[in-house]
Structure 1
Amino acid sequence: MRIQPEEVISEHEPEDLASLEMPVLREWRERLQEVEYGFSYARRVTQGRLDTLMAELERRRSGDVDTDVVGSMPSALGNHISGPGLPRPTRDLDPPEWADDLVAELDDFIGPSKMGSLHEVDLDTLTRAAQRTSELEHDISEARAALHKRIDRVQAELISRYREGAGVDDLLK
């Protein structure tokens, strides 16, 4: 499955960003950022599911007899905690419907009812679910990276205009 930002952005990116008025350019950046939020949400949920599946596979490889999935969650999910640096500002946004659709695809790999009892899932099913989840996470990450490049182009255009003397009124809008 290949996920493209264009699939969830209803309008096409303008060919010439320099020709756009400042308010239109800022609106375009905001729209791209909203789509990025959806991809970010879907990637985080997918990564959490993948971490959980991989922890169960590792538990089996190591011969650990502890089958408490819930108890192992802190260590399984703690592998991708943000490193040093400033945290991103919090946003109280509901994920877009299309992001929920991406996340729902995970349930096709292994149902949510089985996530709490992974020790009962046969190894082949678990391995396939982890592989498919990994592929989905990769696709989402690639789409998100492509979207970041688009956001960066818009941001660069905005910065260029401010450096060239965009008025204070434009900065405050």
Structure 2
Amino acid sequence: MTTESHPGGRRPIDRVLADGFADDLQGLPFEDLRERRHLAEQEEVDLSFARRLLQGRLDLLRAEQQQRELPQDGPVEGERTDAELARDLSQALADAPRADHGLGRHLTTDPSRVGEHRRAAEQAVADVQASDPSALTDEAIVRAIEHLVELEQAVSDTRHQVQAVMDLMSTEVARRYREGEARVEDVLTAE
């Protein structure tokens, strides 16, 4: 999963994190500022989505790991019934409070590259067969979790960089409204 930016690249992440993208914001025409902020916001949403996909895979692997650590009461050692699998899957994917939560920003945009990020997350875990964690050895689960934790951290780090760019732009937009350089009416008539 490549979420880091590449200087001179053409992807949105490359543009948002490029040197100069957030420079001289006071001299930027308001419409250009709004477009850049929107691009950064979209990239933050897409990165959040990718991060959540990775976290879902981690949840499944950790649930399998935890299940293996529990004493087995079933008829065949290590095998679970379909009902137990469904229960475990629903628990693993439940929206319980997370220890690895983000900044809790209110996002007004939907992910734009859902398919791209889903494919990237699936490719990132394809080598660890995360769609069937029960087929993995204990050691393979540990390695898969370590691998996904590293990927999730890389996505998270990039997301924080994008959020810093968004914060700069939002601060400039707010300054312009506060000082009367921009008016809500201008934005409404421009859309």
TM-score, length-normalised on structure 2?
0.73
Which runs of structure 2 are paired with 1:66-85 in the superposition (5 Å)?
A: 67=80, 68-78=84-94, 80-81=96-97
- Counterpart CA distance in 1 for 2:186 and 2:157 is 33
Pick from 142, 145, 151 the counterpart of residue 130 of structure 1: 145
- Counterpart CA distance in 1 for 2:34 and 2:97 is 31
CA deviation string 1:7-63 (max 9, x = no partner)? 643433142111111100000011111111221111111000000001111111223
Between 152-161 and 87-96, report the one with greater CA deviation: 87-96
Q: 2:121 matched to 1:106?
A: no
- Counterpart CA distance in 2 for 1:168 and 1:21 is 15
**CA 1:71–1:96 in structure 2 vs 1: closer, same or farther (change >3 Å)?**
closer
Question: What is the CA RMSD across the aligned residues, in angstroms?
Answer: 3.0
- Counterpart CA distance in 2 for 1:3 and 1:158 is 27
Which segments of 5 or more consecutive residues in structure 1 lack a partner in the other structure? none
- Counterpart CA distance in 2 for 1:99 and 1:43 is 9
AA aligned opposite 1:141: S
State percent identity of aligned pairs: 26
- Counterpart CA distance in 1 for 2:152 and 2:92 is 16
1:37 corresponds to: 45
Pick from 33, 42, 46 the counterpart of residue 25 of structure 1: 33
TM-score, length-normalised on structure 1?
0.80
Task: Please identify the structure whose Cα radius of gyration is greater.
Answer: 2
SS state of the match for residue 105, structure 1? helix
**CA 1:27–1:89 in structure 2 vs 1: closer, same or farther (change >3 Å)?**
closer
Contact 1:52 1:73 in 2 (8 A): yes
Task: Write out the 4+ residue segments of structure 1 that deviate beyond 6 Å after TM superposition.
Answer: none
Count matched residues.
168
Which segments of 5 or more consecutive residues in structure 2 lack a partner in the other structure? 73-77
- Residue 93 of structure 1: CA displacement? 4.5
Larger relative contact order (Cα-Cα within 8 Å, sequence gap ≥ 6): 1
Contact 1:109 1:133 in 2 (8 A): no
Between 145-154 and 58-67, report the one with greater CA deviation: 58-67
